[in-house]
Chain A
Amino acid sequence: SQQGEEDPQALSIQEGENATMNCSYKTSINNLQWYRQNSGRGLVHLILIRSNEREKHSGRLRVTLDTSKKSSSLLITASRAADTASYFCATDYGPNQGGKLIFGQGTELSVKP
C-alpha cells in the first residue's frame, strides 16, 4: 500500500503553543500536500511542497520535506483554538497516477483556550 503514516494520531496543546505533526510515505513523490478537516466538514488545502523543495512557509504554517527519509512535518506556530481540526498529509505521485492523492491517517489536533 502507498498509504502514508502520520504521527501523533492525536495532539492536545494549549493556545499559544506550537504544534508539530509528522508524515512518512513509502515511494518517491511528485509533491506532498497538507489538508485540514474541521469536524463534519470537507477538506481544505493548506500547503503544497514539491519534491525539489525542502521547506515552505504560509502564515503560521511551516512545512518541511526530507525526501531521503521520505518524511514531512507540519508546524503550526502560536496555535489558536480555531486550529482545532484533523490534519492530513497527502502524497501526489504525479500525472502518471492521474493526480490521485494518497492520504495519511491524520492527526487530530485539539487546541485548548
Chain B
Amino acid sequence: DTAVSQTPKYLVTQMGNDKSIKCEQNLGHDTMYWYKQDSKKFLKIMFSYNNKELIINETVPNRFSPKSPDKAHLNLHINSLELGDSAVYFCASSQAGAGEQYFGPGTRLTVT
C-alpha cells in the first residue's frame, strides 16, 4: 500500500498556465507538507497543514495556493506558472510531534 501518493508524477506545461498537484496519505497523520526541490537538489519547505489548518507559509509567492479538503489530502494549485517554478515538488506527512516525515514520490514540474 502506498503511504503518501502524489499525482501526477510528471507535469510539463507552458508559462502562464495554471496547474494542480494532488497529494494523499493513508497513514492517519494529522500534518502534511509541501517541499520544493530545485535542480541542485536543495529542498525547501513551502507549506504545512495540521488538521486542515495552515501552519506554515514560507514566503511562497501567492501564485501558490495549497488546499486541504481533509486531513488525508493536501493539494497544491499554482497560477500563472513561471520558468522558475520548474522543480520537483514533494508532499510529506507526519504525526505532529513525532518528527519523522514520510515523503511522496515527487512531481517533476517542467515549465517551458
Q: Which residues of A does B touch, CB under 8 Å?
A: 30-31, 33, 35, 37, 40-45, 48, 86, 88, 92, 95, 97-103, 105-106
B56 touches A42 (CB 8 A): no
Interface of B is mostly: strand
The residue of chain B having its C-beta at the shortest distance from the C-beta of A102 within the complex is B45
Count contacts on B: residues with CB < 8 A to the other chain: 27
Interface of A is mostly: strand
A-B contact count (CB 8 A): 63
- Given contacts A41-B106, A42-B106, is CB(A103)–CB(B43) below 8 Å? yes
Task: With both chains docked as a complex, state the minimum distance between the C-beta of B86 and any C-beta of chain A, in angstroms.
Answer: 16
Task: With both chains docked as a complex, state the minimum distance between the C-beta of A105 and any C-beta of chain B, in angstroms.
Answer: 6
Does any Cβ of A come within 8 Å of B84's Cβ? Answer: no
B97 touches A88 (CB 8 A): no
A101 touches B45 (CB 8 A): yes
| Cα–Cα distance between A103 and B48 once the two chains are bound (Å) | 15
* Of B44, B102, B104, B106, the contact of A103 (CB 8 Å cutoff): B44
B96 touches A43 (CB 8 A): no
Chain B residues within 8 Å of A33, by CB? 99-101
B41 touches A95 (CB 8 A): no
Task: With both chains docked as a complex, state the minimum distance between the C-beta of B89 and any C-beta of chain A, in angstroms.
Answer: 11
| Cα–Cα distance between A92 and B45 once the two chains are bound (Å) | 12
